[in-house]
Amino acid sequence: MGVKATTNIYGIFGHPVKHSLSPDMHNSAFSKLGLNSVYVAFDIEPENIGKATDALRVMGIKGINITIPHKQTIIPFLDEVSPDATLTGAVNTVKNEDGKLSGFNTDVGGFLRAIREDLDFSPEDNTLFLIGAGGAARAVLSAFCMNGGAIVYIADILKDKAIELADQFKENFENIRIETIEMEDKKIVSEKFSEADILVNASPAGMDGVGSHDIPLASLKKSAVVYDLVYKPQNTKLLTDARDLGHKASGGLTMLLYQGAESFEIWTGETAPVAVMKKALGY
């Protein structure tokens, strides 16, 4: 279906955003269902997130996904934030209803479904080692804590950011042990790796053009699984190294798929054609 004067516009705000596969995924879904809609990518500099959010109202853009680095900074510019996004402290989906902007977080459900289906893993009574403390990390932590996780270790190159994240979640989940770990302290990292049931990279490390973390992966216990939220490249160094060591490991395409399907349904009220969206992602 070609773009018309009546075409509904959806998209994604990020910086950088040229690597995004979301346009392929959502446009294939619109086409499959015969919806007069199009999805495009908007590269928004961090200092312009407020202006860009206001533009949604002015231009009548129906919905937007939010990615790095805007998942937290967009919140003050929204009219309403869902309970899951409030708990997470991050928004990845915005719906525009006649100028009223509502924020949601579909990363939580997307991550949970991905680890269950890809890795046959459930958070219940398990230990998480989480790398990263940004918006994506908040979604991972929410999914883990809301579904019976027992212990969490958080490491980020920005120590204060990790401490802030840990403190916020300690207030809401007093029964879960949440600690911060310094990335530079390889001895402590190795020790906590040996306790982890799942290692999750929720940082940009390993993304195309971004270096990987130097981590003691060999310290992971043999039964531990690994999930890397990075999806481009599909096989990051972390995933390759983990599989070489015998760990079950999966990358971020499935989380992208499932969070995208939930966003699609929030925007359109239609059941997302998951198989079509998965094919568009190339796996």
> In this predicted structure, what is the pLDDT of residue 74?
97
Contact 103, 75 (CB under 8 A): yes
Same domain for 151 and 34 = no
The per-residue b/e assignment along 163-201, b for 16 or more CB within 10 angstroms, e otherwise, is: eebbebbeeebeebebebbebeeeeebeebbeebbbbbb
pTM of the model: 0.89
Domain count along the chain: 2
Bridge-based pairing of strands 93-97 and 63-66 is antiparallel
DSSP for 37-81?
Answer: EEEEEEE--GGGHHHHHHHHHHHT--EEEE-TT-TTTTGGG-SEE
> Can you tell me whether residue 182 is helix, strand or coil?
coil
Q: Looking at residue 164, which CATH number applies to its domain?
A: 3.40.50.720
In angstroms, the CA 72 to CA 107 distance is 13
Position 1 in a domain:
no
CA atoms within 13 A on the CB side of 253: 20
Catalytically active residues are: 71
pLDDT of residue 84: 87
Say which CATH number the domain at 59 has.
Answer: 3.40.50.10860
**99 and 148 share a domain?**
no
Give the pairing type, strands 80-81 and 127-131: unpaired
Residue 113 domain-assigned (yes or no): no
pLDDT at residue 40 in the model: 98
If asked whether residues 70 and 156 sit together in one domain, one would say: no
Q: What is the domain range of residue 201?
A: 121-247
Task: Output b/e per residue, 78-108; b: 16+ Cβ within 10 A.
Answer: beebbebbebbbbbbbbbbeeeebbbbbbbb
Q: Could you report the average pLDDT of every consecutive run of 10 residues in the chain (283 residues)?
A: 89 94 97 97 98 97 95 96 92 97 96 96 98 92 96 95 96 96 93 97 85 89 96 92 97 96 98 97 86
pLDDT at 19: 85
